[in-house]
Structure 1
Amino acid sequence: MRGYRRGSFTPTISPRGIATQTEENIMPSHELLTHYGVLIVFINVFGSSLGLPIPATPTLIMAGAAIALAAEGFSSAAAVFGVVLGAAVIGGALADIVWFHGSKCGVLMPRRLDMSDKLSSLGRWGVRTLLIARFVPGLAFIAVLLCGRRAVCLRSFILHDCAGIGLWAAAAMAAGALSAPHIETTYAAAWQFIW
C-alpha cells in the first residue's frame, strides 16, 4: 500500500491548529479494530442482538482480519482472538437475556399471540436451536423469544445461547483471519479510490 505504514497514525496540525488527515496518517479500519476492537465488537454485537439495524458479522470478519494482520505470533493472536470472542459472547448474551426475560414476562411478546406452530418447531429441537440460530437470519431473535415464552430454565438458556454465539462469532472471525491478506488488499485499493 502506498503511503501506509502499520502503526503510523499521527495527526498533523495545520497552521490554524486543526488536525488534518493525509494519505500517510489515516488509520485504516483494521488498525482501528486493533486498538479498540474489544469495545467495538461488544457494542456492535450487543446492538445487533437488541435489534438495531447494524450487522455484526462484517465487524467480526474485520476483527478476525485485524487480529491476523497485527499478530506477532500465534500465542498473542490466540489470546486476542479469545478476548474479542469473549466480548462478542458477552454482548450477545446480555442483549438476549433482555429479550428472554421480556418475553417470559409477556412484556415484549404478548401472551395472547398465537405461537402454537412456532412452539411446536422449537419443541422438537428445544433450546438446542440456539446453537445454530445465529447462522440463520432472523432465527436467533425468534428462538430467544420462544425460549422465554416456553419458560426455559435460565441456566440452560444462557449455556446454549453463549455456545451458539461463540460458534457464530468464532466462525466469522476465523473467516476474516483466513482472508486477511485479501481484505487488506481490497481495503487499500478501495481507500485509494475514495481518497
Structure 2
Amino acid sequence: MTAGLTLTVRPARPEDVPAVVAMVHELAEYERAPDQCHLSAEQLAAALFGPAPALFGHVAVDDADRPLGFALWFLNFSTWAGTHGIYLEDLYVRPEARGSGAGRLLLATLAAICVERGYRRLDWSMIDWNPAARFYAAVGAAPLAQWVPYRLAGPALHALAAQADGGAPATTGGAPQHPSA
C-alpha cells in the first residue's frame, strides 16, 4: 500500500470530468493506443450528466478530494439471468496511487452496487498482457476463455448499417425506441 494515502470512492461529479478525461488518456497511453483515444470533456460530461445518462462513474479521491482513479461503467442485461449487470468500461488508477487499494475499492464499490440492486454479475475486458490480471484473479474474477469478443466499427459498421430497412439508408428513426424515450 502507498503509505499515508487515505482514499474514498464516490460517484463522479461534473467537476471531476477534466481529471477523468485526463486519466482516460493516461490509460490509453498505458495500453499503447493513445492515437485511438478521442474522448473530450464535453463528450464525457454529456454521457455522465446529460438528460439521459447511459454511462456512470465513480472516482477514488484522496483527502483533498483529488481524483486518483476512476471506474466508468454502464448497465448490461443478461437474458439468461433475467437481470441487469454492470459492464466496467474502464478502471484506472494513477501510478502514484497504485498499491493503495484504490483499484480494489473501486471494484468493491461496483460489486456492492450489483449486490444492492440484485444484479448478478460485473463484467469487463482487458488487454491480454495487462499485469492487472493477477489483481483480478485475487478478487475472484475469472477470464471467460470460451467467449470471444467481437467489434463492428468504422467502414464495416457503416456498410452493415446501410443494409437496415431493406437497404434504404439507415436512420435512427427506424430503430426501436425505449418506451421512456
By the TM > 0.5 criterion, same fold?
no
Give the TM-score normalised by structure 1.
Answer: 0.26
Structure (1 or 2) with the greater helix fraction? 1
Structure (1 or 2) with the greater strand fraction? 2
Q: Which structure has more RCO (C-alpha within 8 Å, separation ≥ 6)?
A: 1
Structure of greater Rg: 1
